[in-house]
């Protein structure tokens, strides 16, 4: 017994030591090609008639739950789920193998999806049915897909870009910046894109390489060819997929990751997004108005959907869930507990999407709503229905692509909304424009004084004087807390207008400069640049971020 206990301790110690090693992702560096070469998982593991000893029905009396965590091959190759490396069942299995004097190598840590695919491959091909090269490639691509999403979700990446040409490039958008991850061969990219399309839960019936196609991947779905599950990381609700043909290449895939809230009941905390008391008070006033249209604008990836989701959760909480909140979205991105979220489906072309969106919004207006959330206003018919909802006594919230809060009025006018509707402050209640700014790492940020004599230092002195010099920080060299990037996360910065009839009339008459002067001087308005400078002086964002979104800091905007 003492000998067995000593052996178990030795195995546990070895496992913990190996756990500190970098995780295997089945990639090798090909220095001659200057690319990362993909090694097919199945070719590597099942070569030379290597057998999977732990397959179901084998001599190993282990539970299916233990089998889900590990795999042992006849050549001693031993794979363990990195999420279960310290599980007691894993230690017991290793001790049992040692007692039976079965060869076992140091554990190699992989994902649960890789282990599931290995068993699926073995069960289909072990001695009975040959697995075709196409099927093996497809299963490999599914693993690659989930592993890329796993790596992206750990960094809270907003988008993953796959650019396929003579080679295939993988890029992550981290904190708003494109960062190259890997480069593979062109054949890998072609197979990867086809497999991702086939894995989608909502998509066109057929993949067409030369057409623009959209799709969506939801939660966990069956792993093709097995009874196992292809699992998205637990913090990823869904993935929005966009397939684009490109010149001088073959395909360009963009995957937008939609993350779950840490709080499963939904968060209503606007402060955690970066909003201050000034913005929070204005959002409260917009929520307190039972009737009227509120619009949140910004470019793709500016956090509009997240802001609206949290605001709607807050609205439901303030009303004690005694209102009927309906949403019309294409597709629903984030859950809003207490709301009825209506997806737009069965639409392939843009024309069909607009038609189905209009149909769904018309249905929502006939479904006894108190408040309606329209995912995006992108056509005249949708815009007219949002105004119809406000005219008929409902609160309506929506998003729009516009450059600024004042420009929302111009954008709606250009879409075809009649001026008499835009000029009514009883209908147009709130105009919001938002951007996401990278936050400085508080542990390694440096004073702007380290850049004394530089052009940006002089611009800051011209704009804010010595006060700015004393309070502004820039990104540092990076540290462990921020992953050696100098930035850690992003924060929303908003400009918000609660318009009156004079402001609206000036905007409709193309008197933009006068309208903004009136908003700032008479309506206590604060443009986006001023809101960003406030965060900069608090040391939350740096000057480069302010100038990136708002122009040079010592110049006032020209309207």
Q: Which of 278, 284, 196, 275 is nearest to 243 (CA)?
A: 196
**Total-model pTM:** 0.71
Cα Dmax for the chain: 90
CB atoms within 10 A of CB 335: 16
The 8-class DSSP code of residue 377 comes to -
Q: Cβ(551)–Cβ(527) under 8 Å? A: no
Residues 6+ apart with CB under 8 A from 358: 379, 381, 382, 385
- Report d(CA 115, CA 112) in Å as an integer: 5
Q: Cβ(157)–Cβ(172) under 8 Å? A: yes
Residues 6+ apart with CB under 8 A from 435: 298, 299, 302, 492, 493, 528, 532, 549
Tell me how far the alpha carbon of residue 415 is from its chain's centroid: 29
Q: Cβ(255)–Cβ(233) under 8 Å? A: no
- Report d(CA 532, CA 554) in Å as an integer: 13
pLDDT values of the chain reduced to their tens digit, one per residue, 559 residues: 444 445 444 444 444 443 333 334 444 444 333 444 445 667 778 878 888 888 877 777 788 778 888 999 989 999 998 878 888 888 889 988 898 888 899 999 887 777 877 887 777 654 344 556 666 677 778 878 888 998 899 888 999 999 998 889 999 998 888 999 988 888 888 889 988 998 888 777 788 888 888 888 876 555 554 444 567 788 888 888 999 998 877 889 999 998 876 554 557 788 888 899 999 999 999 999 999 999 999 988 898 988 999 999 999 999 999 999 999 987 777 889 999 998 876 555 667 777 888 888 889 999 999 999 998 898 898 899 999 999 999 999 999 999 999 999 999 999 999 999 999 999 999 999 999 999 999 999 999 999 999 999 999 999 999 999 999 999 999 999 988 889 998 999 999 999 999 999 999 999 999 999 999 999 999 999 999 999 999 999 999 999 999 999 988 765 5
């Amino acid at each position: 017994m003492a000998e067995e206990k000593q052996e178990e301790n030795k195995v546990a110690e070895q496992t913990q030591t190996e756990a500190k090693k970098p995780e295997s992702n089945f990639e090798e560096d090909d220095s001659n090609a200057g690319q990362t070469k993909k090694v097919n998982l199945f070719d590597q593991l099942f070569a030379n008639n290597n057998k999977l000893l732990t397959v179901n029905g084998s001599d190993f009396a282990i539970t299916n739950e233990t089998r889900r965590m590990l795999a042992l091959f006849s050549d001693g190759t031993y794979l363990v789920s990195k999420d279960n490396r310290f599980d007691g069942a894993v230690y017991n299995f290793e001790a049992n193998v040692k007692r039976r004097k079965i060869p076992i190598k140091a554990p190699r840590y992989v994902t649960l999806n890789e282990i599931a695919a290995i068993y699926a491959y073995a069960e289909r091909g072990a001695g009975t049915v040959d697995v075709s090269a196409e099927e093996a490639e497809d299963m490999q691509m599914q693993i690659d897909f989930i592993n890329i999403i796993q790596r992206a979700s750990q960094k809270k990446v907003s988008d993953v870009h796959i650019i396929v040409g003579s080679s295939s490039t993988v890029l992550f958008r981290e904190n708003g910046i494109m960062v190259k991850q890997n480069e593979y061969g062109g054949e890998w990219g072609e197979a990867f894109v086809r497999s991702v399309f086939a894995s989608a839960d909502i998509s066109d019936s057929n993949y067409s390489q030369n057409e623009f196609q959209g799709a969506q991947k939801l939660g966990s779905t069956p792993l093709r060819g097995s009874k196992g599950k292809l699992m998205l990381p637990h913090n990823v609700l869904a993935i929005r997929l966009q397939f684009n043909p490109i010149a001088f290449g073959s395909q360009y895939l963009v995957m937008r990751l939609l993350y779950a809230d840490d709080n499963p009941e939904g968060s209503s905390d606007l402060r955690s997004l970066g909003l201050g008391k000034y913005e929070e008070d204005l959002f409260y006033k917009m929520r307190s108005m039972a009737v009227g249209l509120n619009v949140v604008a910004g470019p793709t990836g500016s956090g509009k959907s997240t802001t609206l989701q949290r605001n709607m959760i807050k609205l439901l909480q303030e009303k004690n869930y005694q209102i009927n909140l309906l949403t019309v979205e294409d597709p629903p991105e984030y859950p809003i507990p207490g709301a009825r979220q209506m997806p737009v489906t069965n639409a392939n072309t843009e024309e069909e999407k607009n038609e189905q969106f209009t149909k769904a919004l018309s249905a929502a207006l006939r479904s006894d709503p108190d408040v309606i959330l329209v995912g995006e206003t992108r056509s005249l018919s949708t815009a007219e229905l949002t105004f119809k909802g406000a005219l008929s006594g409902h609160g309506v919230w929506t998003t729009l692509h516009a450059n600024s809060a004042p420009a929302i009025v111009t954008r709606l006018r250009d879409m075809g909304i009649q001026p008499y509707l835009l000029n009514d402050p009883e209908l147009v209640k709130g105009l919001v424009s938002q951007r996401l700014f990278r936050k400085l790492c508080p542990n390694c940020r440096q004073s702007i004084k380290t850049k004394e004599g530089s052009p940006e230092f002089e611009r800051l002195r011209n704009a804010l004087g010595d006060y700015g010099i004393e309070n502004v920080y820039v990104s540092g060299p990076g540290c462990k807390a921020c992953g050696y990037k100098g930035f850690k996360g992003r924060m929303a910065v908003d400009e918000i207008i609660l318009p009156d009839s004079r402001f609206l009339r000036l905007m409709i008459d193309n008197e933009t400069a006068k309208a903004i002067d009136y908003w700032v001087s008479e309506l206590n308005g604060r443009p986006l640049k001023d809101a960003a400078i406030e965060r900069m002086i608090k040391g939350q964002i740096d000057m480069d971020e302010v100038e990136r979104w708002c122009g040079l800091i010592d110049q006032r905007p020209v309207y």
